[in-house]
Amino acid sequence: MSDKTVTMYDIKSEEEWQRILDSLYQELGMPSAITDKGNTVLKVSGQRNPLCSKIRSIKEASSFICSQAQQYMAESAKETKRPVIDFCDTGMLKLVIPFFRQTEFVGTLTACGASIKGEELEAFFIEKSTELNEAEIEALIQQVPGGDLPKISEVTQKLFQQIHNDTKCDLKVFSTTRK
């Protein structure tokens, strides 16, 4: 038995992960990243929306909102061995896809930062977490891109299946969802 720790780069090369992350960002408009099993970000693609950028710039808010959502969702994805799509405490959509090498949990692919029609962003919670005023928050909320939940779900499931079933990902995982 080997003592070597399996990493995300044992599943795909750095270049392959970057292409996958870039494709995911282009398809969904949500910044994406891969993390190791401890939730340390290894590689990213895309730019955060202004509200996410502001939250991430405030250490306490970032820890309370972003890190907590990632930890909870990554743990849930690890336990179920399935992707998790849910909302962070601000009401923005987040997805987490777990990756395994045989039975060993290796890390996740995550994307976040979209609003979903019919779901309200939590201005009061954002205000309490960031100490921004209501006008600042409302201006930032208006800049959050909308996401299509059925499309996000479909792309997430296809990406999960393709990477788990085909170690030579052809990077055309999104072709059936483009119009």
Specify the range with the lowest mean pLDDT, choosing from 11-20, 27-36, 73-82, 162-171: 162-171
Query: What's residue 179's pLDDT?
Result: 35
| pLDDT tens-place string over residues 61-71 | 888 888 899 99
pTM attached to this predicted model? 0.88
Strand partners, 45: 32
* Tens-digit pLDDT profile for residues 41-63: 999 999 999 999 999 999 988 88
Q: Is 164 exposed, middle or buried (0-12, 13-18, 19+ CB in 10 A)?
A: middle
Q: Classify domain 8-154 at the CATH class level.
A: alpha beta
* Domain residue ranges of the chain, discontinuous segments joined by +: 8-154
User: How far, in whole angstroms, is CA 89 from its chain's centroid?
Assistant: 14
